Amino acid sequence: MVTIDFPPGRTDGSLLLQPNNSMSWRQNLLLLGLIATVSLTIAIGFYLAGAKAILPFSILEVIALSAGIYYCAWQRQRKELITFQKHQVTIQKGFYKPLTTHHYHRLWCQLIIREASHPWKSPSVHLRSHGKELELGSFLNRQDKLIVIDRLKKLLGNAYMA
């Protein structure tokens, strides 16, 4: 998802990049609860019938599924904020707060677009200045990356296909 915040007619503003959130945390918990209930009900039935080895594996399955859902929900909190000022481009990457901050001089900043190796994949977007290169929006889908590429071409004016 791309959120563009630029006042009309100005080139100072920001782009907020974040993954699409298809399900809320509550919906993930409901799905986990449903799957855990069905799995553990079947496992308890087998346990009562005498197959005692099934219950521990069912519990491990629910624990692994819980860990996977938590990891995916945590990754959905990833954000990249690209701020354009008169002479500087600032990129902040993080989850709930900025973990890394990169500063580039706007005049020397180049937009590098690398075409995808397969038609189903999306191109990669990089900013380069003085030998430092940084990929933007690696988690975005193809449509959102094309929006970012279009906006960055207008803001920076120097895009290179690699």
* Model pLDDT, residue 162: 66
* Model pLDDT, residue 9: 79
Beta-carbon-side half-sphere exposure of residue 76 (alpha carbons within 13 Å): 13
- 119: confidence class by pLDDT, cuts 50, 70, 90: confident
Sequence-ordered list of residues with C-beta below 8 angstroms from that of 20, at least 6 positions apart, any chain:
1, 141, 144
Residue pLDDT, tens place only, 101-110: 999 988 888 9
Which of 109-146 are b and which e, b meaning 16 or more Cβ less than 10 Å from the residue's Cβ? bebbbeeeeeeeebebbebbbeeeebebbeebeeebbe
Residue 94 pLDDT > 90, yes or no? yes
Residue 156 pLDDT > 80, yes or no? yes
CB 67, CB 75: distance < 8 Å: no
* Model pLDDT, residue 55: 94
Residue pLDDT, tens place only, 30-48: 999 999 999 999 999 999 9
- pLDDT mean across residues, the chain: 90
C-alpha 76: how far from chain center: 6
SS3 85: coil
Residue pLDDT, tens place only, 13-24: 999 999 988 888
High-pLDDT (> 70) share of the chain, %: 98
CB 82, CB 88: distance < 8 Å: no
Handedness of CA 145, 151, 156, 160 (dihedral sign): positive
Beta-carbon-side half-sphere exposure of residue 6 (alpha carbons within 13 Å): 18
